[in-house]
Every structure is written in C-alpha cells, then in structure tokens.
Structure 1
C-alpha cells in the first residue's frame, strides 16, 4: 500500500460527487422524499406509505441517474408510469416529470443553502494529485459542473463524466460500471489500475462489476456492512483515514 492507502498499482482515482466530495447526498435524499411523498400521498390517499429517506434512498435511488431512480423506487411499490419526455413539467405524472420535480427542488435547496465540501476529501484529492495520480469526477448528476464550480473544485479533476456526458454518449448509469469505465478510458488507464471512491451501494456494484483495482466505500450514514457486501475493498468514514494528509 502507498501512503495514500491504495495499492501500488493504482494510477488514477475516480470520485463520485454527492456524499464523497460534497455534502449534497442529504440534500438529494430530502428532495426525493418531498417529491415521492407528494406523489404517493395524492395517489394512495389513506394507504399512503412515505418514502424512507434512509432505506428507500440507499436501496433504490442513491447513485442512480434520476430517471432510473424514479423507475426503481416506483417499481418497489408496484407502480409503473409513462416515461414522458425530458422536458415534461414538474407536475406531470410521468417518470421524467417526477424526476424534473425532484431536480427543481434540489436546485432550490442548493441555491438557498449553498454547497459544502468534505474537507477530508479535498485534502485527499490534493495529496493524490501531488503524488502524480490522475483524477476524475464520476456522477449521475446533471448539475455536477455547477456544483464543482461553487466549491472551486473543477480544476481538481482531469476528466468529468456526469449526467450530461453520460446522456451524450449513451452510457447507462450506476449500478452499471459504464460511467466509471469511460472515466478510466478518458484518463488513459486500465480499470485494474484505477480506484473508485463511492458512498452509494449502486456505486459499489459498479466498482465491483467493472473490475476496478480498488473500491473505497465512504460510510456517511452507518452502512459499512452493506458497502462491503456490495463490493467495497475498504470502508472509511472519511478519506483522511486512508492517509495523504497535507
């Protein structure tokens, strides 16, 4: 292992955004809850069962592209909706409409409260780059560039594969490994020489199925066992635990 807590063979680090670099996972969870609860309450009436912002979020939504999260959660409740189109209004009873409602809420919360970075992650990324390793940001969010700019972190990544790039290239999102594989390819490294940093169970699945050289799970919500079960090689609460402090 290097002083960064990584195998000697690792040449690149691929970082998720929400919950790894920024403290925005909780913002997304709150927006999903508000969105799904409004939909379910109107649909189910007295039989309304709320969205669980911990269990449902982790299992069905976290780390997935927005529309996939809508489909996966609704399927868990036996609900199927029309796809609609990407420009559906937020009040449309379609997969895209619900996704757009959630995105509007996230953007409102971010504008109101701002975005905060995990300082341990920022220190770790700086140490990684000082050691000559290449870096990529890999996120399902279509707002990745704006979030990175808001914390002055866009310059810390050689490659960005986000919801916008994935749509342009036709890449399926997590738990499929395609976005991480695209980041490694753009960096010019083999997956076996790249480390994945994720807090989502879907991200762990992507790291494992993509046969990456090392998969680091960030346990922000007390789900270490689940992260290991889904493919983590190591689980930490903060990247300072891996080393690389300035």
Structure 2
C-alpha cells in the first residue's frame, strides 16, 4: 500500500480487511454524513420511504412496484424533494414541483416529500435514536484529539436527530438540508454541500476526510476533492462505493478507533 503526497491519500482503494487504516486524527478535519454513518436513522428513512411509496404506487397504478433497490439508487443521501423527483422520473412519472409549504395531500414533489417526512418525524420522536457505538467512540476520540469535525447531511431533520442522539455538541459545523436551501447548495452527488462543510470548518478538503454510506454522498465527497473518502457499507455495497470514489470501505467506524 502506498501513500500519496498528503496524509490520508491512498494511491489505491483499500478495504477494512487490510490491517492498516489511516489515523483520522492526523488529518486537517473529518466531515461525517449523518443518516447511516453516525446514527441508524437511515433505517427509519428507508421504512418511511417504503411505506409512503408503496401506498402511492399502488393508488396511482405505477409499475414496477417500489423495492429496496429504489432507496439506494434514487433516494439515499439526496435532499428529500430531489429524491422524490428522481424516483418518480425512473417510472416516467412527472408531477409539478410545488412548494415546500405544500400539505401532505398535495400531489406535487414537495407534497409527496412532506408526506414521507411526517412518517419519519413521528417514528423519530416516538422511538428516539442513539448513535452507532463505533461512530460515537470515533467522534469522542477525534474530539479529544482536537481534530475539527462536522456534519454534512441532506436531511432537514439533522439538527433534531443530532440533538435527540445526544451528539449535537460535538459538531461546530452542521451543513444540512436547511442550510443547503438557504445557501442554494445543490444536492448530493454535486460537490456543493461537502465543499461548503470544509469551508465552514476551515479545513482543506485535500487534507481531510469525508465519511459516507450513500452512493450520492461518496460521489459528492469525491467531487469536492477530499483526500480520503471513507465509505461505510450499511447496505449500499462496498464495490459500488469504491466505484463511485470511496478510497476505502469499512463495515463500521470502530475500525478507526485506536485502543
């Protein structure tokens, strides 16, 4: 295994099976996706999307039916309305975009997205959420070392999720769906959100790491020029993450925790 000209840059992709992984504390900074990386909220999102689209496709007579693969291909990591439009487009269905204030009964991209978010919010507030133990151990270690860390999430629920999970105070910078809408940042896989996160954190992407579990998120971080793009395989597929620009892939962030 050979290293490039700066910490964390590897000439070839590596996986968790290799004994040596980079020390993330040595980098300028680390930016984390939220859902599926820090917290298992991706499972809640998957359930909410599946429930909503299964009912919608059935009532509209849309074929083929919604599958789990649709989540990873069209929804995972994207801003909510972009994901709705992308999935409907895959079925040759076009509806008006509408407005974020649309009620959940509106047959618009925004109305459909709001319908899903109502399911998500209800489950989150009823059941709560806790960070993955390995992720918590890593952010605690980075925080103790003084390594700048932040969150880059397409979700407009990121602040609430971080607060409920008890980890909001670790992150001085959170670039989420609310910030993205306010600043006019394009959704992942465009580089905008990760580039903005690095800028707000005051770090050089080329000497920093981005941690993602989604196809669109890995592509976004790679396009933003991060020297180390860590893929976390929670179901998106290790090879797919590598193909989209991940430098390496692990099953859990505990792999980076030194003891």
- Asked whether 1:122 is paired with 2:139, we answer no
- Asked whether 1:105 is paired with 2:122, we answer no
Which of 15, 33, 40 is residue 23 of structure 1 equivalent to?
Answer: 40
Q: Deviations over 1:120-175 (max 9, x none)?
A: 00100111122221011110111111111112111111201001111111111101
Which of 58, 62, 78 is residue 41 of structure 1 equivalent to?
Answer: 58
Instruction: Work out the CA distance in 1 between the residues paired with 2:176 and 2:151.
Output: 8
Q: Note the C-alpha offset of 1:48.
A: 4.4
Q: Note the C-alpha offset of 1:49.
A: 3.0
The residue aligned with 2:92 is 78
Which of 48, 52, 56 is residue 67 of structure 2 equivalent to?
Answer: 52
Q: Deviations over 1:9-54 (max 9, x none)?
A: 621000000000001101101111111111111111xx6432112x
Specify whether residues 80 and 56 from structure 1 end up closer, same or farther in structure 2 by C-alpha distance, changes over 3 A only.
Answer: same
Alignment of 1:210-221 (within 5 A): 210-221=224-235
Instruction: Work out the CA distance in 2 between the residues paired with 1:229 and 1:6.
Output: 23
In structure 1, stretches of 5+ residues that fail to align are none
Instruction: Work out the CA distance in 2 between the residues paired with 1:146 and 1:222.
Output: 25
Q: Secondary structure at the match of 1:235?
A: strand
Alignment of 1:1-246 (within 5 A): 5-6=22-23, 10-44=27-61, 48-53=63-68, 55-221=69-235, 223-245=237-259
Instruction: Work out the CA distance in 2 between the residues paired with 1:223 and 1:232.
Output: 11
Instruction: Work out the CA distance in 1 between the residues paired with 2:138 and 2:258.
Output: 6
The CA RMSD over aligned residues, in Å, is 1.7
Instruction: Work out the CA distance in 2 between the residues paired with 1:39 and 1:66.
Output: 16
Specify whether residues 234 and 145 from structure 1 end up closer, same or farther in structure 2 by C-alpha distance, changes over 3 A only.
Answer: same
Q: Note the C-alpha offset of 1:68.
A: 0.4
Conserved 8 A contact 1:159-1:183: yes
Conserved 8 A contact 2:151-2:174: yes
Instruction: Work out the CA distance in 2 between the residues paired with 1:90 and 1:237.
Output: 36
Instruction: Work out the CA distance in 1 between the residues paired with 2:203 and 2:101.
Output: 36
In structure 2, stretches of 5+ residues that fail to align are 1-6, 9-19
TM-score (norm 2): 0.89
Instruction: Figure out how many residues of one structure are paired with residues of the other and give that number.
Output: 242
